[in-house]
Amino acid sequence: RSVITKMAETIASKRLSGRPFTAVVEGNIGSGKTTFLKHFSRYDNVAIFAEPIDMWRNCNGYNLLEYMYTDAKKWSFTFQSYVQLTMLRIHQKKIVQPIKLMERSVYSARFCFVEKMQRDGLMLPPSVSVIDEWFKYITSMEDTAVDLVVYLRTTPEVAYERILKRNRSEERTVPYDYIQALHEIHENWLYNKTLHTCPAPVIVLDADLDISVISEEYKRFEPHILNKIP
Ligand code: DCP
């Protein structure tokens, strides 16, 4: 049976169980996740969820993203706890469309960002274990199941250039080394598959391509996300 047939069957069974076909878009900071999501906004059978960065910038008036980059040792745990909660809420959002497309997930939060903070000693083992206890509980729910991971694969140089160019105020202190390390973590998680576990099959896109040609690359992968509707 073809991959498409199998995918169609998966979608049909997911619809019966009430959960939509769920694809999560992953990749380094600056890999173009937002642009990728925008590309799919033209399809009305897809519900799109951008990352809740505005919530991270304003948790009852506190800019946790800014705190995290300003004093990581003090605020990493606070920030990642809130990321985990806000991502969970998106995983749980009920939709009428048959397909859900999300920017990031509880998985990259734990396997990439908490991973990096732990390695750097910015999140201490007791804090990581609290995140992990929540993570185990959360990922045991059907709501957080994922059917496809879209990996926007960049070189760290290109991702870093884009970050500099967009000039997001909280990211002004992010050094190249951080992007390089996050790149390696994403690679080992989704490409080499030597770190943690993938929550679903992974498709890999060349996300280094310039914005002027990248929609062709997106188009190439559309069937994985769309044509599986029976
Ligand atoms: N971030 C974090 N921990 C997480 C998720 C994100 O520290 N669990 C930080 C990294 C960035 C910011 O939040 O500073 C947003 O990161 P993303 O890579 O998720 O989103 P971008 O907007 O950078 O994505 P893209 O440029 O690919 O559109």
Residue spans per domain, the chain: 3-225
Pocket test of ligand 1: the residue of 24, 25, 29, 110 to mutate, having most ligand atoms within 8 Å of its CB, is 29
Rounded to an integer, what distance in angstroms lies between the CA atom of residue 61 and that of residue 57?
Answer: 8
> Is 161 assigned a catalytic role?
no
Is-contact 76 122, C-beta < 8 A? Answer: yes
Closest atom of ligand 1 to CA, residue 68:
7
Is residue 141 predicted with pLDDT exceeding 90?
yes
**Mean pLDDT calculated for residue range 3-25:** 71
Is-contact 189 38, C-beta < 8 A? Answer: no
Could you tell me the pLDDT band of residue 225, with boundaries at 50, 70 and 90?
confident
Could you tell me the pLDDT band of residue 12, with boundaries at 50, 70 and 90?
low
Q: Among 3.30.1490.20, 3.30.1280.10, 1.10.645.10, 3.40.50.300, name the CATH number for the domain at 3-225.
A: 3.40.50.300
> Closest Cα to atom 4, ligand 1: which residue?
109
Rounded to an integer, what distance in angstroms lies between the CA atom of residue 195 and that of residue 219?
Answer: 29
Q: What is the pLDDT of residue 108?
A: 98
Q: What is the pLDDT of residue 177?
A: 98
Sheet holding 148-153, edge to edge: 46-49, 99-103, 21-27, 148-153, 202-206
10 Å CB burial of residue 142 (0-12, 13-18, 19+) is exposed
Tell how far the Cα of 29 is from the centroid of ligand 1, in angstroms. 5
> Closest Cα to atom 10, ligand 1: which residue?
29
- State how far the alpha carbon of 210 is from the alpha carbons of 2, 90, 207, in Å: 32, 30, 8
Is residue 42 predicted with pLDDT exceeding 90?
yes
Q: Which helix (H) or strand (E) holds 4?
A: helix 3-17
Cα torsion angle, 86, 144, 119, 206, sign: negative
Q: What is the pLDDT of residue 230?
A: 43
Is-contact 71 105, C-beta < 8 A? Answer: no
Return the structure tokens found at 24. Answer: 């999560």
- Kindly state the DSSP code that residue 19 receives in the 8-state scheme: P
ipTM over 0.90: yes
Q: Is 31 near ligand 1, meaning CB less than 6 Å away?
A: yes
* Of the candidates 23, 56, 35, the residue with the CA atom closest to the CA atom of residue 147: 23
Other C-beta atoms closer than 10 Å to the C-beta of 103 total: 21
Which one from 26, 103, 157, 217 is the annotated catalytic residue? 103
- Kindly state the DSSP code that residue 169 receives in the 8-state scheme: G
Cα torsion angle, 172, 182, 187, 131, sign: negative
